[in-house]
Amino acid sequence: MKLQGKKILLVEDDNFIGDMFIRKLKAEGAMCSRAVNGIDGINKLKEAEFDFDIIITDVMMAGMDGYEMVQAINKLEEAHAIPIVVLTNRTSLNSVNSKIVDLNIEKLFIKSNTDLIALIDELETILNNINPKPQKNAESTTPILGPITPE
């Protein structure tokens, strides 16, 4: 399982797509939470005390879209280290790229052109390339550092 134990926040307003992604992510061992728009995504992020390994978000959503959500997340000090992957069905990458240039995102995917297996592989690559988050010992509040690797 490529995403074993990884905590993923999926922000997707389409139930069919959201359910499909959640099933695939869970099949790969991920623990998933789902939000239906940017406001819901930020609320879930705060409720979980920013304890997610990665955020996957749609762009076009009612209430607060993906761009606005990523801008809001970028202003939250606790969330800076969480990588963000953007999914969109917008076919004009020029308009999408012009909006995300200044945003802190790891990768952009076009939903209709993205195979779920390729997405899982890319998520695994992103998650393996970030520094491990300190983990808390159940008996102590002192952080336990993950393995130290030479740079």
In a domain, 151, yes or no: no
- Domain contains 2: no
- Decide if 9 contacts 53 (C-beta within 8 A): no
Whether 29 is covered by a domain: the verdict is: yes
In-domain check, residue 149? no
| Assigned domain for 43 exists | yes
CATH number of the domain to which 120 belongs? 3.40.50.2300
Sequence length of the chain is 151
Query: What tens-digit pLDDT sequence spans the chain (151 residues)?
Result: 899 999 999 999 999 999 999 999 999 999 999 999 999 999 999 999 999 999 999 988 999 988 899 999 989 888 888 999 988 876 555 555 556 666 778 888 888 888 888 899 999 999 998 755 444 333 433 333 333 334 4
Range of the domain at 53: 7-144
Q: How many domains are there within the chain?
A: 1
Is 110 within a domain? yes
d(CA 43, CA 73): 11
Is 124 part of any domain?
yes
Q: Residue 77: name the closest of 104, 99, 100 by CA.
A: 104
Give the whole-angstrom CA distance, residue 112 versus residue 133: 32
